[in-house]
Amino acid sequence: MYYPDTVLILNITGTGEIQDLHDGFRMMQNFPNPVDDRTEIGLYVPERDRVCLTVTNVMGQRLIVSERTLDKEYHTFRFTPAGEKLYLLTARWKGTGRTVKILHMGPGTGRSCALEYMGCSHDDTPLKSSVATQEFLFSLGDELLYIGYGDTLQSGFRDAPETSRDYVFQFATKVPCPGLDSVSYEGQWYHTIQIFSQCWMKENLNAGMMIPSSQSQTNNDTIEKYCMANSAYYCDIVGGLYFWDEMMKYTNETGGQGICPEGWHIPRDLEWQILEGAVDSLYKIGDAEWAGNNWRGSNAGGNLKQKGTLYWVEPNTGATDAFGFTALPGGYFVQNEFWGIGYKAYFWSSQHIQKYYRDMDYDRTMINRNPGGGGAAFSVRCIKN
């Protein structure tokens, strides 16, 4: 664990110097690794100077040599592989070298590999130490945001604690949730996907009885859904569409179970913000970017969308599905009409009053957040309690 990732308290006996690891030049392992079409590498430069980056293959042939002056900050590079199965990326700063191995699992291409500078993030995180650790005021049951750090990765979750407890941060992605590969609900199986400290259903919810677009969803004992074009075929692929009241089972409980299975709930707005920050390359968890409305972030939407154009309309800009969320374009239903199949993926949150929703588009890499979606029917993803 490196600064600023942990509080470290040392009881020292004897004499000697303690090295602050944050002062060192270091390069983080690329993510994802292995890589299909592109991957990102983090680099920390402790003092402004020239940095030389070299990409070689297993034969030692230099494929890329790049030099640039970098400030004292965390920097991000994006690497696009070509036909090799293994690459070595080496960074040198003031005579100090760091190397990572990049495994390529995708098909070989005729293009050349590429290394692109993505930008930097100012290191303004205060040093965590016993001196900086202090009490802060909150009432039992207040909602708190927890963030864990691992190199350039962030893992987070929300909680409203009323008693002391231990927390475990997950840094796994693209794997089923621990001990829970799938869930059977309403006669259908749903896979699970772990994205850092969040466990999501991998498919859009398709629970309930299909009703025609001419009929209203009502408060009864039956979950009612709309299927695009009034066809169950579309529900089987992209899930059902639900108005907010139907999704919440006509309650106003933020974070409530709604139409999700037992042990799961409709995601809160903050839980969506955590997911967005965890998968975006530039804006991390807790950044003020995610609290805004309209199109936000850099590439969170692209990293959550299903790759290719099997269900998305071309060009499906920036879609990598880098974390296994596999967002599908289920469209939406409003004023007795269906819209956006193949073009848009709308997802509900359970935030009462504001009724926030998320929108991912076929031609964008960002994610749209807006309130007031009560007049339309959207897709639903469940998140584990």
Per the domain annotation, does 134 fall within a domain?
A: no
Per the domain annotation, does 177 fall within a domain?
A: no
CATH of the domain at 38: 2.60.40.1930
Last residue of a domain, one of 86, 121, 156: 121
Check whether 8 has a pLDDT greater than 80: no
Q: State residue 127's pLDDT score.
A: 41
Dump pLDDT digits (tens) for 322-369: 999 999 999 999 999 999 999 999 999 999 889 999 999 999 999 999
Q: Are residues 97 and 219 in the same domain?
A: no
Number of domains present in the structure of the chain: 2
Check whether 27 has a pLDDT greater than 80: yes
Per the domain annotation, does 266 fall within a domain?
A: yes
Per the domain annotation, does 5 fall within a domain?
A: no
pLDDT band at 153 (very low <50, low <70, confident <90, very high): confident
Q: State residue 300's pLDDT score.
A: 96
Q: Are residues 217 and 74 in the same domain?
A: no
Last residue of a domain, one of 89, 121, 153: 121
Q: State residue 122's pLDDT score.
A: 53
What average pLDDT does the structure give for the chain?
A: 88
Per the domain annotation, does 202 fall within a domain?
A: no
Least confident of 33-47, 300-314, 322-336: 33-47
Q: Are residues 228 and 375 in the same domain?
A: yes
Order of strands across the sheet with 294-296?
294-296, 367-370, 357-361, 344-348
Q: Is the model's pTM score more than 0.85? A: no
Determine contact, residues 66/115, Cβ cutoff 8 Å: yes
Per the domain annotation, does 180 fall within a domain?
A: no
Per the domain annotation, does 283 fall within a domain?
A: yes
Q: State residue 23's pLDDT score.
A: 55
44 compared with 263, residue with greater pLDDT:
263
Q: Are residues 115 and 213 in the same domain?
A: no
Per the domain annotation, does 171 fall within a domain?
A: no
Dump pLDDT digits (tens) for 95-152: 899 999 998 887 776 778 999 998 876 544 444 444 445 566 778 888 889 998 876 7
pLDDT band at 5 (very low <50, low <70, confident <90, very high): low
Q: Are residues 91 and 230 in the same domain?
A: no
Q: Are residues 256 and 371 in the same domain?
A: yes
Q: Are residues 212 and 337 in the same domain?
A: yes
Check whether 180 has a pLDDT greater than 50: yes
Q: State residue 22's pLDDT score.
A: 43
Q: Are residues 223 and 356 in the same domain?
A: yes
Q: Are residues 225 and 109 in the same domain?
A: no
Q: Are residues 242 and 357 in the same domain?
A: yes
Q: Are residues 351 and 245 in the same domain?
A: yes
Count CA atoms within 13 Å of residue 209 on its CB side. 9
Q: Are residues 217 and 351 in the same domain?
A: yes
Last residue of a domain, one of 92, 121, 150: 121
Least confident of 20-34, 70-84, 145-159, 209-223: 20-34
Check whether 373 has a pLDDT greater than 90: no
Domain that holds residue 74: 21-121
